[in-house]
Structure 1
Amino acid sequence: MSNDNHISPKPGNLLISEPFLQDENFVRSVVLICENNENGSFGLVLNKLSILKLNEIIDDVEPLNCDVYVGGPVEQNTLHFIYCGEQLFESSIQLGNDIWWGGNFDELLSLLKLGKIKENTIRFFIGYSGWAQGQLNDELEEKTWIVCNTLDSDSVFFSSPEELWRIILKNMGGEYKQMANYPIDPRLN
């Protein structure tokens, strides 16, 4: 895995929160950048599980007991999804070799109900993480985030949320491998 904090993240890059970040929305978080342009940035926190299940948010999906993650503190009345594998919907945006963002939600639910998509290959998110124009670059200059430009669907979809931050850092190697073992409270280091 490689890293470059000197460039603006691209869709499909991961933002790894620095080890001692105290913002409750982003402590030990891994954010998947879905969009980053002159208007700002949009991402989804990959490792913050909510207390909700999909069938508690949407009517008529009773057989679907999918986990729902907190994508971020912005507009938590919205629902987003990513999936891995082959492209399922023409409107999906490719973020990595086999990771896709969005698409036809009704069609997705139908495919899930019919068992044509495995629940572990999809992630649902309430809310998102957003940055105004220039805000993310300012946070990068302040070293709030570590940018990882290698997106691995196995880590994203099949690692436990509690371990994802540590796994990504370890896979980046070097000084990041050491950071993976830092305590949350620097006084304990």
Structure 2
Amino acid sequence: MQIKTITKGNILLAQPALNDSTFNRTVVLITDHCEKGSIGFILNKPMIHSVNLFVDELESHNTVYEGGPVETENLYYLHSRPDLIANSEHICKNLYWSGDYQDVKKAINSGLISESEIRFYLGYSGWGKQQLENEVEDNAWIIVNEDVDIFQDWDNNLWKLQMKKLGGEHLLWLNTPADPSMN
């Protein structure tokens, strides 16, 4: 369902006309939204690297996802296990981000948390005060309130699925190339 107000837990769908290589055909989960700005993570841009390439002390082969263009030298995580990871920030339903890294390391290395309960992101997507609202107003993004299982292995298929759910004029974009000049 398409909505107009941005809140934590919303999903942003990049409009097909959004001419930005970072956000082309992306689905972004908003993890924080306040007067100062917004933070989110791209859900559908898996990298070819696993988390243990970035943090060798983690005994995990979880795929790392491109979270966005901000602080791309830092690794972030979303999870569903606040019982194992202290100081986690609640996003919505059973979804959390951040938390004590030592708890993450212990939970992963001792097998207490499965790959389907934590997702890693390199960088994040960030917007300053009123920036995201302005982009939504300029039709760069569609805001939806959907339950998306962020722990599935999504690629650009997620963007197409969400556009299909919207229906109507959004169906036109399903089979067009990501770069219209290739048409």
TM-score, with structure 1 as normaliser: 0.86
Confirm or deny that 1:161 pairs with 2:158.
no
Query: What's 1:144 paired with?
Result: 140
Q: Matched residues, percent identical?
A: 35
- Runs ≥4 in structure 1, deviation > 6 angstroms? none
Q: Which runs of 5 or more residues in structure 1 are unaligned?
A: none
Partner Cα separation in structure 2 for residue 130 and residue 11 of structure 1: 13
C-alpha separation in 1, matches of 2:62 and 2:113: 12
Q: Deviations over 1:53-109 (max 9, x none)?
A: 211111322x31111111111111111111136654342222232221111221112
Going from structure 1 to structure 2, the CA distance change for 1:31 and 1:109 (only over 3 Å counts) comes to same
Partner SS for 1:161: coil
Gaps of 5+ in 2: none
Mapped partners of 2:84, 2:163: distance in 1: 30
- Residues 1:131 and 2:124 are matched in the alignment: no
Contact 1:20 1:186 (8 Å CA) reproduced: no
**How many pairs does the alignment contain?**
183
Indicate yes or no: 2:116 matched with 1:117: no
Alignment of 1:19-98 (within 5 A): 19-61=16-58, 63-84=59-80, 87-98=83-94
Q: Which amino acid aligns with 1:23?
A: D
Query: Structure 1 residues 149 and 56 mapped into 2: Cα distance closer, same or farther (>3 Å)?
Result: same
- Given residue 151 of structure 2, which amino acid in structure 1 is its aligned partner? F
Alpha carbons 1:29, 1:46 under 8 Å: kept: yes
Residue equivalent to 1:3: 2
Q: Quote the residue 1:103 is aligned against.
A: 99
Structure 1's 178 and 91: CA in aligned 2 closer, same or farther, altered over 3 A?
A: farther
Give me the whole-angstrom Cα distance separating, in 2, the residues matched to 1:142 and 1:30.
17
Matched residues in 1 for 2:7 and 2:106: separation?
31
String of CA shifts for 1:135-155, please: whole Å, max 9, x gaps.
Answer: 1111111100011112322xx
Preserved contact between residue 12 and residue 96 of structure 1 (Cα < 8 Å): yes
Q: Quote how far apart the aligned CAs of 1:159 are.
A: 4.2
Superposed CA RMSD: 2.1
On the 8 A contact 1:20/1:184 being kept in 2, the answer is no
Using the size of structure 2 for normalisation, the TM-score is 0.88
